[in-house]
Amino acid sequence: MGQRILTINAGSSSVKFALYTSGETPDCLAQGLVQGIGSTPSFKFKSGGPTETKLIDAGDQTQALEVILAEITPLLDGQDVAGVGHRIVHGGPLRATPTELTQDVLADLATFNPLAPLHQPHNLSAVDAAKEAFPYALQIGCFDTAFHRNHPWENDIYAIPRKYYQQGVKRYGFHGLSYDYVSHQLVRDHPELHGKRIIMCHLGSGASICAVNNGVSISSSMGFSPLDGIPMSTRSGHLDPGILLYLMETEGMTANELTHMLYYESGLLGLSGISHDMQVLEASDEQGAKDAVEYFVYRVRREIGAMAATLSGIDALVFCGGIGENSPNIRLQIIDRLGFLGIEPDVEANARNATLISKGATPVFVMPTDEEQVIANAVAKALVPAH
């Protein structure tokens, strides 16, 4: 005992981390975030007291990890980092459980880089940096796609020639670590919902909706890549594929140009022409901002209706993620027209970000998610010798 577990969640311009005790139920000792990598990097760090924020020098994820290590070293108190857990966005068609990140596994995971270009390459570069920093630590990958690996066949396949399904062109779903945490917390806090039909809305820079029945993911708004479903900060969400054919033919756009547009120039940013940040859009009087918010709300509401049909009903609705947890206005606009699902907003409770924000037959909850805890738990389990 006394060893430490480190979790790393690396994105295109940020690295989230948390330091835990080892043991059956890891306790968080510290957590933080390096953001703005490559532009104006800053470091947020919390260990017991108030959150500290400072500007740093970090041009890439490796340099960001060096900053993180320098800050957490005093907290190790002479103990070794026995395991490092990594959020890996895409695990491919087979991986449904946390996996040791051997070189063979990493080589396989790199083949999914084109399917999650905002995340996967950075996830894997963080693994390389962590292996260099902690050569004797167990490196464990936890996959955002794993939670969705038991979808019914009809919720996974696309209506294109079936040979592509055999090649792995299918609906994968993402945000699985978040949904895993929230679904377990919900049943723990509300045992009457055990075995029930839950719709979860992870609304943040990336956003998706998930339908869960009896603790198992049945359907996700995200599909083959993290582009599908509802609009996000800079990602398009659902598109008619004919649009891409049209842009290729009339604008002469290449695959790289389409990729850049769909991942970096679309979503709230593309719709508003102002910002990708929901807080900025909510505070703006510009018509473009209002249009972007209205479209986002409409698409979320529409997806909730689709998930309710998939589940043949709904027993609870849950909001999580940055927007889901912190924007009473967006939540109210979404649920205010879901009375046909037995949902009646509690306006006062919603305004103060209460856990329960409804008073109708179908409860609506706001629950903070904790992907890092899911990763730490997986590493702790992997560190226990098999008997």
133: closest CA among 70, 59, 45? 70
- The angle subtended at Cα 329 by Cα 341 and Cα 321, nearest 5°, is 80
The alpha carbon of 243 is separated from its chain's Cα centroid by a whole number of angstroms, namely 27
- Within 223-370, residue ranges assigned H as helices are 241-250, 255-264, 267-272, 278-283, 287-311, 321-326, 328-335, 347-351
Q: How far is CA 360 from CA 45, 305, 336, 347, in A?
A: 40, 17, 11, 12
Distance CA 346, CA 359 (A): 6
Contact present, 72 and 45 (Cβ < 8 Å) = no
Q: Has 144 been annotated as catalytic?
A: yes
Q: How far is CA 387 from CA 23, 377, 384, in A?
A: 16, 19, 9
Residue 274's contacts (CB-CB under 8 Å, 6 or more residues apart) are 280, 281, 284, 286, 288, 289, 292
- Within 142-286, residue ranges assigned H as helices are 163-166, 176-189, 241-250, 255-264, 267-272, 278-283
Q: How far is CA 77 from CA 3, 18, 69, 74, 379, in A?
A: 10, 16, 13, 6, 20
Contact present, 378 and 21 (Cβ < 8 Å) = no
Distance CA 219, CA 34 (A): 33
Instruction: Categorise residue 282: left if φ over 0, alpha if ψ from -120 to 50, beta otherwise.
Output: alpha
* The amino acid at 251: E
User: Can you tell me whether residue 43 is helix, strand or coil?
Assistant: strand
Instruction: Categorise residue 179: left if φ over 0, alpha if ψ from -120 to 50, beta otherwise.
Output: alpha
Catalytic residue among 144, 180, 228, 370: 144
- 3-class SS string, 276-317: CCHHHHHHCCCHHHHHHHHHHHHHHHHHHHHHHHHHCCCCEE
List residues with catalytic annotation.
Answer: 144
